[in-house]
Amino acid sequence: MIGFFDQIFVLLQHWIVSFLPAAWQSAAGVLLAVVAIICLFPALFALTTVFERKGIARIQNRLGPNRVGPYGLLQPIADGIKSLTKEDIVPMSADAAVHFLAPVVMVVAVFMGFAVLPMGRNMVLVDMDAGLLFYFAIGASAELAVFMAGWSSRNKYSLLGAMRAVAQMISYEVPLLLSGVTVVMITGSLSLTKIVAAQNHYSYGLPHWYIFTPWGCAGFLMYAIAATAESNRSPFDLPEGESELVAGYHTEYSGFKFALFFLGEYLAMFSISGLGTTLFLGGWSAPFSFLNWVPSWIWFFSKLMLSIFVFIWLRGTLPRLRQDQLMNFAWKFVLPMCLLNLFVAAAWRFMGDGWLRWVVCSAVLIAAYVTLGWSEMHRGKIGPRSYRYAE
Amino acid sequence: MLGEGIIKGLAETARNFFGSYFFAERLTTVEYPEERIAPFEAARVFPFLVFDGTDALAGLRCTSCQICEKECPPKCIYIEKSKDKKPDYVGRMQFYPARFEIDIAVCMSCQICVEVCPFESIKMNTEFELATTDRFGGLLLDRDQLAKPNSYYQKIHPAEAATVDARLGEEKAKFAAKVKATSDAAAAKSAAKALEGANG
């Protein structure tokens, strides 16, 4: 029975496919999984928009949307109808073809990332050996869509937003990759299913997730920072800083194209959270061995929702960074920490079992964090802002 | 240490988030059309005219002195003086406004008219739901719309109304005493004259 609920979607897929002739079965199975992903994540996006608005409202002592349907839960439907019925404006001097393609490329690139994410036991669309590599390659092409949008709109705000977005995404792509590399170093595989399998065993009922190791904890923190910047979320939402750039690279988009950008952004957030879950939080494995009876996909999606909650929480808490602070933070703090983390992970790998590697690795990382953070704050590069007023 | 402020901030927002489900002071929204809070005593929206007693025209305190009309910065008050006179709140014969109009589309709620009024006649209302479908006629309030009984004034601004009532009562008593004194003097004089006549 436990196995049945765990594998319910896999069995459902096999059952539906079994009605088809043998030659079509594998293609139909893939198609079915694709349709499931394409339906599921936009639905999750719709839910997330309303929960985000409500959560941020609560953080700001407000109620949030509560007029459309019970507790405002039908708000995304109203928003969808609104964006579908709005006029689709293409600026007269815009490059119409690229302007049209940009949101499509964005959504397609983001959807591709879901192909390699293991969402449960045996629930991965393409079990690729180089899954992580594929994910990062596809994830980087979302930047192209952003720049296409900014460039083709022929609007200074769009272009500025796109330039900012590209600068930011490329800067944070490096720490994102490097924090992922530590996991590859320890696991010895680029396959995401193997990475989950490597974390899915327990001692004393506690899991061997990578976040519970010194290098994994540091790597996860760096990954979380880079992922926030990659998905253009607050406090790294400079590309669409509405107080400076109207709406950044999607200023000239209206109606459903705008909704597609919005969708793409949230899907990118989901997929990057899913990857973080897979790399550091044990993917679909249960947090305690006695909870193994709960279906694996429930664990994956609860971890995903938890990360999204943290994203929303951060958005409700932190103000936006300045461009120079953003760059300083990426190149002078996150990147050195990631590089150091590579050495720490290597040390962890070769020091063998025992308490010594825990002490050494944690000490190195904490010392580096404190000294690097202190020196950067001392030089005024990152850390609290100081204001000088006109005399 | 680096990141300390972020942790503090996250703790504060988490307190707001979870607190909003349990404590009213962390969820201060009043869902206006369904829920309302009692209007504040010091609130002011647009002016209205106070009248004593039950008859709006007879009890109107306004003597049509037109000071408010002159002082009004955006010139939203229009007053037309009456030809005849009627007794005011103390019983003195005074003019009264034949027309008294305030264009609340123009009024800026500065309360200067209230401050300059020597007769405690014009006061600030707390009524704020004044939306109308007619943006010209509907926002031009005439004398009958502006006149509100003193009891209404006492209800919306209790403390202020109490001092005003005390002052007016004093004035009324003083005037009554004066009237009595003059009538007494006149009576005494006429009595004396009568006496003189009788004697003469």
HSE toward the beta carbon, residue B32, CA cutoff 13 A: 3
Which of B6, B17, B28 has the CB atom closest to A55's CB atom? Answer: B17
Does the structure show a pLDDT above 80 at A6?
no
pLDDT in tens, A215-234: 888 999 999 999 999 888 88
Angle at B162 between CA B156 and CA B164, to 5 degrees: 100
In 3-state terms, what secondary structure has residue B113? Answer: helix
Which residues of chain A make contact with B27, given a CB cutoff of 8 A?
58, 61-63
Counting runs of H as helices and runs of E as strands, what totals does chain B give?
A: 7, 8
pTM, two decimal places: 0.78
Please report, as a single letter, which amino acid is at residue A158: S
Could you tell me the fold of the domain covering B47-178? Alpha-Beta Plaits (3.30.70)
pLDDT band, residue B184 (cuts 50/70/90)? confident
Would you call A317 and B9 a contact, using CB atoms and an 8 Å cutoff? Answer: yes
Mutation target among B13, B28, B30 for the A interface, most CBs of A within 10 A = B13
Q: Average per-residue pLDDT in chain A? A: 85
Type and span of the H or E element at B35: none
Would you call A58 and B29 a contact, using CB atoms and an 8 Å cutoff? Answer: no
**Which pLDDT belongs to residue A391?**
62
In 3-state terms, what secondary structure has residue A61? Answer: coil
Nearest residue of chain B to residue A384 (CA atoms): B5
Which residues of chain B make contact with A62, given a CB cutoff of 8 A?
27, 29
Nearest residue of chain A to residue B16 (CA atoms): A59
Does the structure show a pLDDT above 80 at B198?
no
Question: What are φ and ψ of residue A55, in 5° steps?
Answer: -65, -45
**Which pLDDT belongs to residue A223?**
92
**Which pLDDT belongs to residue A380?**
63
Residue A105: name the closest of A165, A152, A148 by CA: A148
pLDDT in tens, B123-172: 998 888 888 898 888 888 888 888 888 888 888 888 888 888 888 888 88
The nearest CA of chain B is from the CA of A383 a distance in Å of 7
Nearest residue of chain A to residue B11 (CA atoms): A317
Would you call B16 and A384 a contact, using CB atoms and an 8 Å cutoff? Answer: no
Rounded distance between C-alpha atoms, residue B144 and residue A54, angstroms? 47
CA distances from A335 to A267, A375, A384, B4, B31 (A): 26, 15, 20, 20, 48
Which of A60, A318, A369 has the CB atom closest to B6's CB atom? Answer: A318
Would you call B29 and A314 a contact, using CB atoms and an 8 Å cutoff? Answer: no
Nearest residue of chain B to residue A377 (CA atoms): B2
Which residues of chain B make contact with A52, given a CB cutoff of 8 A?
none
What part of B 27-86 touches A (C-beta under 8 Å)? Answer: 27-29, 31
Whether the CB of B9 is below 8 Å from some CB of chain A: the reply is yes
The nearest CA of chain B is from the CA of A376 a distance in Å of 9
pLDDT in tens, A7-60: 777 788 878 888 888 888 888 888 888 888 888 898 999 889 998 998 899 898
Q: What contacts A157, CB < 8 A, 6 or more positions away?
A: A245, A246, A247, A248, A251
Which residues of chain B make contact with A383, given a CB cutoff of 8 A?
2
Q: Average per-residue pLDDT in chain B? A: 86
Task: Yes or no: say if A131 and A196 are a contact pair by the CB < 8 Å rule.
Answer: no
The nearest CA of chain B is from the CA of A309 a distance in Å of 11
Does the structure show a pLDDT above 80 at A241?
no
Question: What are φ and ψ of residue A116, in 5° steps?
Answer: -100, 0
**Which pLDDT belongs to residue A287?**
85
Would you call B29 and A59 a contact, using CB atoms and an 8 Å cutoff? Answer: no
The nearest CA of chain B is from the CA of A372 a distance in Å of 9
HSE toward the beta carbon, residue A340, CA cutoff 13 A: 19
Q: What contacts A121, CB < 8 A, 6 or more positions away?
A: A6, A7, A284, A296
Where in chain B are the domains?
A: 47-178
Task: Yes or no: say if A44 and A309 are a contact pair by the CB < 8 Å rule.
Answer: no
Does the structure show a pLDDT above 60 at A1?
no
Q: Are strands A202-203 and B147-149 parallel, antiparallel or unpaired?
A: unpaired
Task: Yes or no: say if A162 and A146 are a contact pair by the CB < 8 Å rule.
Answer: yes
Would you call B27 and A59 a contact, using CB atoms and an 8 Å cutoff? Answer: no
pLDDT in tens, A274-309: 999 999 988 888 888 787 778 888 888 999 999 999
Which residues of chain B make contact with A58, given a CB cutoff of 8 A?
16-17, 20-21, 27
pLDDT band, residue A381 (cuts 50/70/90)? low
- In this structure, chain B runs to a length of 200
Whether the CB of A386 is below 8 Å from some CB of chain B: the reply is no
Whether the CB of A10 is below 8 Å from some CB of chain B: the reply is no
